[in-house]
Chains A and B, each alone.
Chain A
Amino acid sequence: MIAMAQYTQDKEQLTQQKAKRFNLWLGMIGMFMVFAALSSGFIVYTQGGIDKGIKTILPDAFIYSTALIVVSSITMYLAQKAAKEMAFGRQKGLLAVTIALGIGFFMMQVHAWGILADRGVVFVNSNASQSFIYIFTGMHLAHIVAGIVVLVRALIGRIRNIPQVSNVFRMGLASLFWHFLGILWIYIYVFLLLNQN
């Protein structure tokens, strides 16, 4: 009887974990919608006249930041694998590397803003297509900050030695979110590249 009760309760908890994970998927749809709206706003605005448009070649710094975030996705994947294999030292190390790469990505984006501003492509601009570059990257960076918080939380959980089920669960959520942020950046970058002239 007790075993049966425990079985149903475990099942209930498992369902709830699945539902929480699903919440993240839905959240990602919501986040994507923000960028979809910005993309359509950009298109509508840019088609408003021939004087509109990005009208500059995007700085190489964006290529480097893309490389950073792709590598960070790989280290995140490895960290999650380590967590599943209960190789906790490796998990901690890889998580720390991922966080460092995330911070590197952040700094590289800010560096790219500097390059653009030096060229005269500034945020306050009568050609708002150029302002949109800052909006896209800035909104994405706001999400990156949230992503880093999630990663740090997973790391703290590991350091505090939380139960393995929770550890794997947190790592699952963190890596799903982090991969999403990488893919989101690639979407934004490709969108801007296609519109850069």
Chain B
Amino acid sequence: MSNITSAGAHSVDHHGDHGHHHESFWTKYVFSQDHKMIAKQFLITGIIMAVFAMILSILFRLQLAWPDKEFPILEVFLGKWAEGGRINPEFFLALVTIHGTIMVFFVLTAGLSGTFANLLIPYQLGARDMASPFMNMLSYWFFFTACVVMISSFFVESGPASAGWTVYPPLSAIPKAISGSGLGMSLWLTSMVLFIISQILGGTNYISTILNMRTKGMSFWKMPLTIWALFLTAIVGLFSFPVLVAAVVLLIFDRSVGTSFYLSDLVVQGQILPYEGGSPVLFQHLFWFLGHPEVYIVLMPALGLTSEVISTNSRKPIFGYHAMVYSLIGISTLSFIVWGHHMFVTGMNPFLGGVFMITTLIIAVPSAVKVFNYLATLWRGNIRFTPAMLFAIGMVSFFISGGLTGLYVGNSALDINLHDTYFIVAHFHLVMGSASIFGMLCGVYHWYPKLFGRMMDEKLGYLHFWLTFIGAYMVFFPMHFMGIDGVPRRYYAFTEFPFMEKWISVNVFITWSAIIAGLGQVAFLWNFFGSIRFGKRATQNPWGANTLEWTTPVEHIHGNWPGEIPTVHRWPYDYSKPGHHEDFIPQTVPFSETMSSNLPHDFEGDQEAERIQREWELANKPQTEKETE
């Protein structure tokens, strides 16, 4: 019995001193278990990885624009990978592979979900922290280790993995096939296993926190759309990432033990390899069962963040809140039954291809619902063009322009032509790459005051937006035409084919655009890191937003709220409600304090509340009419 009382006493001690923890440098900044610090760790690591992957893309763009030109400076930095000042073919493949891997997984999955799920789930739901802060810390450190392992592959003799970010066997499985399938590939696989562990640890925490730790009054239908998006993203991740583990484990054994899960009948450099009976298409099935949901893991948080930002900065309730949620649920569900559209040209039965085509095209429905809702929210809004708002609108733009081409590539007949061309590169860089990174940047600009207690510089934000927005279109839009003409992706020496030579001028244009857009990111980095110390101090609720995170003090404290956790009384989108003296009503304000703006449907059928409201109106309405007279 004494044990029980001591445990109770312990819990009071522990929770009684929120904000007064004696933390060392290590527990506060490094092995922190606080969700706010972990969010910052994810964000800064994500930004560093993004810059790294962006530099890789500029390197391979140089090769594509000036295939015959020498850049001696490259040899200084890259040594044997750029002998004579020209990127060598194997390194080109490594650049493409690692650019894709880092951007998809390390930046837009971990950097995006990791940052905003950690920051916003406890904040917007009214929780002191995540369900398991320890697991949350582990999640970050697994991610960090995965980053280190991935980058370390640049420092091994045989170079990083080069088989494309999808690492299809047999190329990825036979170390002899290309130098990138040696140690670099092993490091890639190790890194991905660590990464997946990180995602599962993080994701289970997000789901569990959302389901179990909402504050009083925070029913599902009062949750902000950010939370809905992060919730569904985590669920999709939980079901799909383990499948990649299975695929990767089999690949590891094929590579290093000599099993034949994916390999069969191979002759490499005149030598017959002992593998027999395996099926490389099996890997593609397993890979894309993760790979396609992964696209939505990347995109959905961006959809959630922008919903919030667009509503707040249009000073209007989000249009079709329920439809937004249902379309997210629709996208999440459909994401699991479309993976075959990546495999139309693998010799798939055309009937099965037809099934995958139909499920794929159905995704246009929830996607269109979201687009129309965004536009309807903006329509006649009292728009504030903050940098975050611009990035949110940019996201909508990319989501439309990239989404439209999805109708073409999702079609099993058209895909025969378009498969593995620059059309695909254009499509996914707009709809998934640019849209998601704009969602992420929108989130950074909007929640920066909450992350660091300071404001980012607006002018630099505008500069950053316009350079990036125009740059992204100038980079990716021309690629559609290259793809239609049949220029294949991942080709190093495409000028060997006379029909593609004419595209060099376009490639030069794209590369210059990429360099300018890349330089635009310096404005962001300067702004981001500079404002941590020198930004204007933020007020508690700088955007006039309704959600709970803006009721916490600007200075971060352990446990988020100094006193009791606030109770939620209304949905998060009461902006510009007629009859109220301000253009926003935070979720914590009870209806009893906003009698002048309450509407019958606010009470969700509570007759007692409706009666009180009617009585108040009878007593007050004539008076207000008199005043106006």
Among A5-13, A67-75, A92-100, the stretch that binds chain B is: A5-13
B4 interface hit (Cβ, 8 Å)? yes
- Across the interface, do A125 and B259 meet the contact criterion of CB distance under 8 Å? yes
| Residues on the A chain within 8 Å of B213, using CB | 15-16, 19
Q: Which chain A residue shows the least CB distance to B262? A: A128
B268 interface hit (Cβ, 8 Å)? no
- Across the interface, do A45 and B261 meet the contact criterion of CB distance under 8 Å? yes
For the complex, count residues of A whose C-beta is within 8 A of B. Answer: 50
Interface-central residue, A5, A6, A23, A135, by most chain B CB under 10 Å: A23
Contact with B along A93-131 (1 / 0, CB 8 A): 000000000000000000000000000000111111001
| Bound Cα distance from A31 to B314, whole angstroms | 43
B258 interface hit (Cβ, 8 Å)? yes
B200 interface hit (Cβ, 8 Å)? yes
| Residues on the A chain within 8 Å of B211, using CB | 19, 22
Among B91-99, B274-282, B476-484, the stretch that binds chain A is: B274-282
A-B contact count (CB 8 A): 140
Query: Min CB distance, B180 to chain A, in Å?
Result: 24
| Residues on the A chain within 8 Å of B578, using CB | none
- B-facing residues in A15-36 (Cβ within 8 Å): 15-16, 18-20, 22-23, 26-27, 29-36
Contact with A along B224-261 (1 / 0, CB 8 A): 00000000000000111111011101100100011111
Contacts A19-B208, A44-B285 given: A123-B246 contact, CB under 8 Å? no
Contact of A10 among B11, B208, B279 (CB under 8 A): B11
| Residues on the A chain within 8 Å of B16, using CB | 5, 9
| Bound Cα distance from A188 to B323, whole angstroms | 41
- Across the interface, do A45 and B282 meet the contact criterion of CB distance under 8 Å? yes
Contact of A163 among B7, B242, B278 (CB under 8 A): B7
- A-facing residues in B33-92 (Cβ within 8 Å): none
- Across the interface, do A16 and B10 meet the contact criterion of CB distance under 8 Å? no
A192 interface hit (Cβ, 8 Å)? no
B12 interface hit (Cβ, 8 Å)? yes
Q: Which chain B residue shows the least CB distance to A129? A: B277
Query: Min CB distance, A47 to chain B, in Å?
Result: 10
Q: Which chain B residue shows the least CB distance to A130? A: B259
| Bound Cα distance from A124 to B241, whole angstroms | 26
Q: Which chain B residue shows the least CB distance to A31? A: B242
| Bound Cα distance from A23 to B208, whole angstroms | 6
| Bound Cα distance from A19 to B131, whole angstroms | 5
Contact with A along B555-576 (1 / 0, CB 8 A): 0000000001000000000000
- A-facing residues in B196-218 (Cβ within 8 Å): 200, 203-205, 207-209, 211-213
| Bound Cα distance from A59 to B306, whole angstroms | 57
- Across the interface, do A20 and B245 meet the contact criterion of CB distance under 8 Å? no
- Across the interface, do B132 and A41 meet the contact criterion of CB distance under 8 Å? no
Contact of B131 among A20, A30, A32, A35 (CB under 8 A): A20
| Residues on the A chain within 8 Å of B277, using CB | 48-49, 51-52, 126-128
| Bound Cα distance from A128 to B213, whole angstroms | 46
| Bound Cα distance from A19 to B209, whole angstroms | 6
Q: Which chain B residue shows the least CB distance to A27? A: B204
Contact of B257 among A6, A18, A124 (CB under 8 A): A124
Contact of A41 among B3, B238, B246 (CB under 8 A): B246
Query: Min CB distance, B307 to chain A, in Å?
Result: 25
For the complex, count residues of B whose C-beta is within 8 A of A. Answer: 51
- Across the interface, do A139 and B249 meet the contact criterion of CB distance under 8 Å? yes
| Residues on the B chain within 8 Å of A139, using CB | 249
- Across the interface, do A18 and B289 meet the contact criterion of CB distance under 8 Å? no
| Bound Cα distance from A126 to B580, whole angstroms | 74
- Across the interface, do A20 and B208 meet the contact criterion of CB distance under 8 Å? yes
A164 interface hit (Cβ, 8 Å)? yes
B135 interface hit (Cβ, 8 Å)? yes
Contacts A10-B8, A128-B277 given: A33-B259 contact, CB under 8 Å? no
B6 interface hit (Cβ, 8 Å)? yes
- Across the interface, do B131 and A131 meet the contact criterion of CB distance under 8 Å? no
B400 interface hit (Cβ, 8 Å)? no
| Residues on the A chain within 8 Å of B247, using CB | 37, 41
| Residues on the A chain within 8 Å of B242, using CB | 30-34, 37
Query: Min CB distance, A92 to chain B, in Å?
Result: 15
Q: Which chain B residue shows the least CB distance to A16? A: B131
| Bound Cα distance from A101 to B3, whole angstroms | 30
A-B CB proximity, top 6 nearest: A19-B131, A126-B276, A163-B7, A33-B242, A37-B246, A19-B212
Further contacts, 8 of them, CB under 8 A, given A16-B213, A34-B242, A124-B258: A5-B16, A10-B11, A12-B15, A16-B131, A32-B242, A48-B279, A131-B259, A165-B4
Sampled A-B contacts (8; CB under 8 Å)? A5-B12, A19-B211, A22-B208, A26-B203, A48-B277, A125-B259, A131-B253, A164-B3
